[in-house]
Amino acid sequence: MLVVGSPGDAEDYLRSLDERLELAQIVGFLRVAGTGLWLDGQVVASGVEEFGRLLEAQAVDEVVAAGIASSPDADRIARICVERGVIFRSLVRMPAP
């Protein structure tokens, strides 16, 4: 699983997986910044258009968008996942009651 966003963005989701986490291996946390993609603090691609190459290089089978749900980058990442048969989940933060 590759999380697009910070650990804090995905905290509730990851906590819900906690008891089943042995079934889900987290590849890392990806940040989309400017024209680059950063995986755990390292630049791994020059832009979202190279996201497919990153999926292959890291053997990712699931992507969770935690911090970019309503951005053009999320749409492009989702499309690349669908084209490659990778599960894509987008987390929605609900307002507090």
pLDDT tens series, the chain, 97 aa: 899 988 888 888 888 776 666 666 888 999 888 778 899 888 888 888 899 999 998 889 999 998 766 677 888 999 999 999 999 998 877 777 7
CATH T-level topology, domain 2-90: Rossmann fold (3.40.50)
The model carries a pTM of 0.83
Q: Are 60 and 1 in contact (CB under 8 A)?
A: yes
Q: Is 92 left (phi over 0), alpha (psi -120 to 50) or beta?
A: beta
Domain boundaries, the chain: 2-90
